[in-house]
Amino acid sequence: SYLRHVDSRKLMPNGAGHIPHLKAVILGEALASEEDDLVLPSKEFSDQANVHSPEQYMEMYKRSIEDPDGFWSEIASQFYWKQKWGEKVCDENFDVRDGKIKIEWFKGGITNVCYNCLDRNIEAGLGDKVALYWEGNEPGLDGSLTYSQLLNQVCQVANYLKDIGVKKGDAVIVYLPMINELPITMLACARIGAVHSVVFAGFSAESLAQRITDCKPKAVITCNAVRRGTKPILLKDIVDAAINDSAKDPPSLDVCLVYDNPVALKREDTKWTQGRDIWWQDVIPKYPSTCPVEWVDAEDPLFLLYTSGSTGKPKGVLHTAGGYMVYTATTFKYAFDYKPSDIYWCTADCGWITGHSYVTYGPLLNGATVLVYEGAPNYPDAGRCWDIVDKYKVSIFYTAPTLVRSLMRDGEAYVTRYSRKSLRVLGSVGEPINPSAWRWFYNVVGDSRCPISDTWWQTETGGFMITPLPGAWAQKPGSATFPFFGIQPVIVDEKGVEIDGECSGYLCIKKSWPGAFRTLYGDHERYETTYFKPFAGYYFSGDGCRRDKDGYHWLTGRVDDVINVSGHRIGTAEVESALVSHPQCAEAAVVGVEHEVKGQGIYAFVTLVDSVPYSEDLRKDLILTVRKQIGAFAAPDKIHWAPGLPKTRSGKIMRRILRKIASRQLDELGDTSTLADPNVVKQLIEFSDS
Ligand code: WTA
């Protein structure tokens, strides 16, 4: 081990004060605490980085806070605007006490996100640069599209959509696997001002139907089937069921465009509804490969993405064109230290926000080469990711802690048999990355050479909020470090009072940023209640956070009733309502428990209707019900039979107690005297091993 000396530097302005000292640390020796574990970028890396020192970050950060209009309008000017925005760069009301919440950026500016991703980059000479590499589930199946080819295909789809009557502002539901046609469809919608709503192709028919009913799309775009690993998934059957389901709720859908994926299912084996279903390959190639752009206002909607909350049905998070474009492009560039020669791979699916902001928009706005991988990360074996990294010379690799942990369990031999020398920057997203997984990712995957950007953000935030800038400062394994430009994170106590210095509490954000969501589709009131009312004057993230003595941020997980399973956000209420829809389930309460690979597992307490006996079949049936109503990824890991649930006298379920029982912390149950029936707890513990 050798001594790496870090100067004492002021790193953070932020109400919380600055970093007094970054201590000299001896790497490899026992550390007093994880907070003292510093990992520095190499001098070589920092020297070439877009932001190469804490001072440079500080200078830019300071400007972004003191003069946000100047900071963001300078960046926005690098994009193409048909017409520049009006007087105000940002117009916001961020405080419910002052009336309706409103966030507007670049209002009056006329632009188009697809144009900025493709036409603008082609005009700048990137026409022949690869925009998308596609790697199929089966090794050996692959393809690529240059920026010019991508534009041609996007235009064909855009022309088709226009032809079937999709207009500016209309919704289109996209239920596709990770094939190039997914980003192509998103961009085609953006080109004509239509609002895409991508639904992760792991969601069940019922979940899809719910989304169709909510946003009433003009068309659904899907694929007959896909293979992930060895498993074929019949997507078209799911779509059929969803459309049937939602047809009860008019207006019913009359177009379903189906991409033919013969590797997974033969055409003739695909169920077909004449008059409604159309094969992608039969129509799209017939359309012209140029298509004029529909110019939109910066504040026109770009997409809707449904996400889980702590109560009720999924919420349609709405993002608008201008601010989102500027924000995803900028965060991508800085957090991954993007250079034009990079090959970038993000393992997320476009069905989640990560795939929107950091598979499609952020990278393409930067003219980057993006890899789209269709398959499972451990197929045919646990070395597949590194095989792909070597094949395409991937230099930036962005993934989720759950994958890191699962590959870690499979052993390093799968990693070290590949060179991985193209890798430069690693990224993590979705949940806190535990220091041991961080270390493995850093040492084994990145050969102790590649900084890790642990990016904290949310569907609602559109882009990174708290993230390392890889060349700028020392990292602490497990900490998302410092805020991105323009972001003012504050930590508040239960009363909403900001706490300074070393502290922990609820993570909120002061002031808006360009990538922030503007509303929940059709329910602005819920938007205000969920995010702006809990702590007036701030956006409330739903996450807990600790700030250490050096000003580093440590995310501690959700503080609401949302759980994070393998980086997938699931509302406990959604799982509960699926369970109670089962005729033999009287009541259910769901909590998250620590899970070695998934981060959190789903633990369900279930009370059956009178006199129904517990049985293994019933357990399986309950799990199946959740799979059918939400999707396989939401299936409970454990069903705990509960003769009764711990409730207060007013009938509120005490989840705090359930969490302790689920994680077997029985000596930490705390005060149970306010329970309506304290005996319930004893019974639950007795049933723990049932
Ligand atoms: C969690 C995913 C810790 C967090 C982009 C947040 C994280 C939720 C991190 C949003 C991270 C995401 N460290 N926690 N780097 N990234 N989270 O909307 O709880 O699917 O609130 O967006 O994931 O999940 P969502």
Q: What is the pLDDT of residue 677?
A: 87
Q: How far apart are CA 301 and CA 83, in angstroms?
A: 17
Ligand 1 atom closest to 460 (CA) = 18
Give the residue, by CA position, lying nearest to ligand 1 atom 1. 431
pLDDT digits (tens, 9 = 90+) for 235-293: 999 999 999 988 777 667 889 999 999 999 999 999 999 999 999 999 999 999 999 99
| Ligand 1 pocket, residue 307 CB under 6 Å | yes
| Antiparallel, parallel or unpaired: β 110-111 and 130-135 | unpaired
Helix, strand, coil percentages (3-state) for the chain, rounded to 5, are 35, 25, 45
Q: Collapsing DSSP states into helix, strand and coil, what is residue 209?
A: helix
Q: How far apart are CA 523 and CA 413, in angstroms?
A: 51
Give the residue, by CA position, lying nearest to ligand 1 atom 14. 431
674: pLDDT strictly greater than 90: no
Q: How far apart are CA 636 and CA 212, in angstroms?
A: 25
pTM: 0.93
Instruction: State the average pLDDT over residues 507-522.
Output: 97
Q: How far apart are CA 71 and CA 75, in angstroms?
A: 7
Phi and psi at 488, nearest 5°, equal -115, 90
Query: 455: CA distance to ligand 1 center in Å?
Result: 8
The yes-or-no answer on residue 560 being catalytic is yes
Q: Please report, as a single letter, which amino acid is at residue 295.
A: W
Q: Which residue has the tokens 């950007």?
A: 453
Hey, which of 531, 541, 564 would you mutate to test ligand 1's pocket, going by the most ligand atoms within 8 Å of its Cβ? 564
Q: Which of these ranges, 32-46, 104-118, 489-503, has the smallest mean pLDDT?
A: 32-46
Q: What is the pLDDT of residue 528?
A: 98
Distance of CA 639 to the CA centre of its chain: 28
Query: What distance, in Å, lies between the first and last C-alpha atoms of the chain?
Result: 50
17: pLDDT strictly greater than 50: no
Phi and psi at 355, nearest 5°, equal -70, -30
Asked if 552 contacts 476 with a C-beta cutoff of 8 angstroms, the reply is yes
Q: How far apart are CA 36 and CA 477, in angstroms?
A: 10
Residue 40: CA count within 13 A, CB half-sphere = 20
Which residues, in sequence order, are CB contacts of 598 under 8 Å at separation 6+?
402, 565, 566, 637
pLDDT digits (tens, 9 = 90+) for 445-485: 999 999 999 999 999 999 999 999 999 999 999 999 999 99
Q: How far apart are CA 150 and CA 144, in angstroms?
A: 9
Query: 653: CA distance to ligand 1 center in Å?
Result: 26
Residue 556: CA count within 13 A, CB half-sphere = 14
Query: 595: CA distance to ligand 1 center in Å?
Result: 16
Q: How far apart are CA 475 and CA 548, in angstroms?
A: 13
| Ligand 1 pocket, residue 618 CB under 6 Å | no
Give the residue, by CA position, lying nearest to ligand 1 atom 15. 456
Write the ipTM. Answer: 1.00
| Ligand 1 pocket, residue 353 CB under 6 Å | yes
| Ligand 1 pocket, residue 172 CB under 6 Å | no
Q: How far apart are CA 387 and CA 93, in angstroms?
A: 49
Query: 429: CA distance to ligand 1 center in Å?
Result: 6
| Candidates 277, 300, 454, 560; catalytic one | 560
Asked if 37 contacts 476 with a C-beta cutoff of 8 angstroms, the reply is yes
Q: What is the pLDDT of residue 309?
A: 84
| Ligand 1 pocket, residue 569 CB under 6 Å | yes
Query: 564: CA distance to ligand 1 center in Å?
Result: 8
Asked if 530 contacts 309 with a C-beta cutoff of 8 angstroms, the reply is yes
